[in-house]
Structure 1
Amino acid sequence: MKIKADKEKLKLALCLALWAGLFSYFGQPYIHNNQDAVNIIVTVFSILAGFLIAVITLVGDPKSLPAGGWQVAQLGSVLTYNRLVRKKWLFKFYLITLFLIFCAILIKKPFPNLVIWLEYIYLFVGFIASILSFKLPAALMELQKERIQNEINERRKKEGIEDD
């Protein structure tokens, strides 16, 4: 089962990289010398980065660990850690995109040919980050659902009602 899941993730990553490559290849001419488009990308990724920090804070909250003994909390911490790692990489994609845009703006005059390559790269990374960002609302919903269920379970235990 683990190998199958890893193969699915690999397929997804390859497909995403292919689409990102196509997007960056065809999208670069629309970005080149288009400051309004660059400003939109910077604004969107800055907002997403701030939003993601809030998500990371919620995911990492110890209150989100399942109720029970330390062994239950330990098992829950593995899931929490894996979620945090995924969010960390998404945050890094946001920052890499913003950093590449910053570099492209700085070297625009002295190295105009290098700017073109940076545009391809930040469109590639930005596309991947954008697609992965669509999973954030579902991740938040899942996290909140787990927290609510943990709270319900705790209240049931306080009232002496056993879980089914």
Structure 2
Amino acid sequence: MYRRNIEIEWGRVAKIIVALVISCAVGYFFQPMVSKNKDAVNTVVTIFSILAGFLIALITLISEPTLRQAKDWRELQMMKNTIERKLLRQKILFFMYLLTLGVALSTFLIPDNFECARMWVESVFLALATFVFIASFGLPGSLMKIQMERYSAAMDETKPSILKDIDKTIESD
């Protein structure tokens, strides 16, 4: 049986746990601030709609630097898992944006006589919006990394042949 070695990034796990704790606290303690407050919900909906559009643009950029950087089929094959991981993280974040928007919509659909259900949905909405907002702080870093990979790929493409020959010589030694 094939078993895949999974390396756990403990720093990333710690960030997720901290974000979950903060999000749950915000959802619990600040729920009264969004209760029946259409302006607050609409503001969050607007923010996440913009972030979702930005994220789609980011997803379209993720694989381009790798495609340009790879020298042959073997290198592309080796980079495939890295690209899949990057895309998966962005895909999960995008679906979380959509989930946040869906929960926001549900806050408007709950009848007034279901006050307890409304409070829970508003708490979940606020906690989810907080968590996804915190998770979005990684987007600028992702975009910067992609742009730097594009820059490196462009530098490699335009590097004078004499420097490429020197690099090959160094690699073979």
Tell whether the structures are fold-level matches, with TM greater than 0.5: yes
Select the residue among 124, 127, 134 that pairs with 2:127.
Answer: 124
Q: CA–CA distance in 1 between the matches of 2:111 and 2:20? A: 27
Q: CA–CA distance in 2 between the matches of 1:6 and 1:148? A: 27
Select the residue among 77, 94, 112 that pairs with 2:97.
Answer: 94
Deviation at 1:110, TM superposition (A): 4.9
1:64 corresponding residue in structure 2? 66
Q: Which runs of 5+ in 1 are unaligned?
A: none
* Pairing 1:136–2:149 present: no
1:108 corresponding residue in structure 2? 111
* 1:28–1:120 CA contact under 8 A, matched in 2: yes
Q: CA–CA distance in 2 between the matches of 1:140 and 1:10? A: 21
**Deviation digits for residues 45-81 of structure 1, max 9, x if unmatched?**
11111111111111133x5332211111122222211
* RMSD of aligned Cα (Å): 1.8
Highest Rg: 1 or 2?
2
Q: How many residues align?
A: 160
Q: CA–CA distance in 1 between the matches of 2:103 and 2:75? A: 42
* Pairing 1:47–2:50 present: yes
* 1:67–1:154 CA contact under 8 A, matched in 2: no
The percent of aligned pairs where both chains have the same amino acid is 34
2:3 corresponding residue in structure 1? none
Moved more, 98-107 or 69-78: 69-78
Deviation at 1:160, TM superposition (A): 4.0
Q: CA–CA distance in 2 between the matches of 1:110 and 1:73? A: 58
2:153 corresponding residue in structure 1? 150
TM value normalised by structure 1: 0.89
Q: Residue type matched to 1:84 in 2?
A: L
Specify which structure has the bigger relative contact order, considering alpha-carbon pairs within 8 angstroms and separated by 6 or more residues: 2
Q: Which runs of 5+ in 2 are unaligned?
A: 1-5
Q: Residue type matched to 1:140 in 2?
A: L
TM value normalised by structure 2: 0.84
